[in-house]
Amino acid sequence: ANVKGEVDVLRAASKTFADKLANFEAKFPDAHLGAVVAFGNNTWRALSGGVGAEELKDFPGYGKGLAPTTQFDVLIHILSLRHDVNFSVAQAAMEAFGDCIEVKEEIHGFRWVEERDLSGFVDGTENPAGEETRREVAVIKDGVDAGGSYVFVQRWEHNLKQLNRMSVHDQEMMIGRTKEANEEIDGDERPETSHLTRVDLKEDGKGLKIVRQSLPYGTASG
């Protein structure tokens, strides 16, 4: 969404939504409900007076449109085990934020079988396991940003017809894992262009960890 109203109104609306979310969490404890409100670079600077989030910046876009920049001011991400609860919280968000934001895109994702995406491969295998470990990776511990985090959102459009014309072996070489068993293919056997090789990032010899959340979306008819 993009901001239409004053920053103070946005700040108050965020607090109102947080209160509404807490009520839903208390009402549906078994839904494992959670939500995040995140802000783009310019909006955060306006909200914070330029304090904190020193690593926050706009995505520049890459690949001549293959990875375009679609920068917005506000992200509202809602997740639970129940679609009806998700939708109710989304309605509560719209009520809380009202006319101070203009929704630019609304996407309803879902968890697929065995945490696979629509390609049929398991997504997020190397995710940090357990709440404490994930908190260690993703949540800022100290300073003015303590308790906060950074979020990077990507929406991929897969050509499933083209993918399904490939042999399973070629698909596995493209990803770097076996499709059914979800086993990592040895580095000497998979190509350097495989997805797994490309995203195995290190800094000073230490692996860079993030917490990923894969949520397929779309319609069965395409």
Q: Which residues pair with 75 in a beta bridge?
A: 38
Contact 175, 184 (CB under 8 A): no
3-state secondary structure of 122: strand
State CA 43 to chain mean position distance: 19
Q: Which of 19, 117, 123, 145 is catalytic?
A: 123
Q: Tell me which DSSP letter residue 129 carries.
A: P
DSSP code of 50?
S
Measured CA to CA, the distance from residue 70 to residue 68 in angstroms comes to 6
Which amino acid type is present at position 128?
Answer: P
CB 77 within 8 Å of CB 151:
yes
Helix locations, 28-128, DSSP H = 41-48, 83-97
Annotated catalytic residue 145: no
Phi, psi angle pair for 114, to nearest 5°: 55, 30
Catalytic machinery residues: 123
